[in-house]
Amino acid sequence: MSTPVPTTPAAADRRVTTVLVCTSCRREGDAEDAPRAGARLHAALADAAEPHPDLRVVGVECLSVCKRPVTIGFADAGKWTYVYGDFDVTTAAEILDTARLYGAADDGLIPWKSRPAAFKKGVVARIPPFAAAPEVTA
């Protein structure tokens, strides 16, 4: 389950980093009748993030990076969004530690030297912050 967004005034001032997890990612060897690797990683991340109000774990149906399971992402308003591949349930703590580095960066750009190895080689995409289109008047 995902961690709820803080609603108290003091907590609302804190930024919440969203950790996206592809729940449909399947690893070779996943049994047809068992939870997929993505669902297992989502559960592990959600459990590990429970005591951290600055992190929200959100399962998504598919991130379309099927050749690099399990795929995750980091997102926050006004920041670059990152998509990474090649994770498994054993990497939950490392993912959350890196999500906190992402959350601490004003623009979401984690300095290369500060990134764990999996986040240097696992980058699938870096998506610029969404800029709202100017309003058009008739």
SS3 sequence of 63-125: CCCCCCCCCEEEECCCCCEEEECCCCHHHHHHHHHHHHHHHHCCCCCCCHHHCCCHHHHCEEE
Instruction: Please say whether the beta carbons of 42 and 59 come within 8 A.
Output: yes
CA–CA separation, 45 and 42 (whole Å): 5
| CB burial readout 110-124, b (16+ within 10 A) else e | beeeebeebbeebeb
Structural domain including 42 reads 9-127
Domain-located, residue 57:
yes
Q: What is the pTM of this model?
A: 0.83
| Per-residue confidence (pLDDT) for residue 2, from 0 to 100 | 44
Domain-located, residue 20:
yes
CATH number, domain of 99, equals: 3.40.30.10
CA–CA separation, 9 and 13 (whole Å): 7
Domain-located, residue 132:
no
What does the pLDDT profile of the chain (138 residues) look like in tens digits?
A: 444 444 444 444 568 999 999 999 999 888 989 999 999 999 999 999 999 999 999 999 999 999 999 999 999 999 999 999 999 999 999 999 999 999 999 999 999 999 999 999 999 999 999 875 566 666
Query: Tokens representing 9?
Result: 């005034």
Domain-located, residue 88:
yes
Domain-located, residue 45:
yes
| Per-residue confidence (pLDDT) for residue 130, from 0 to 100 | 84
Domain-located, residue 34:
yes
Number of domains, the chain: 1
| Per-residue confidence (pLDDT) for residue 121, from 0 to 100 | 92
Domain-located, residue 81:
yes
Domain-located, residue 4:
no
Count of other CB atoms within 10 angstroms of residue 136: 5
| Per-residue confidence (pLDDT) for residue 4, from 0 to 100 | 44
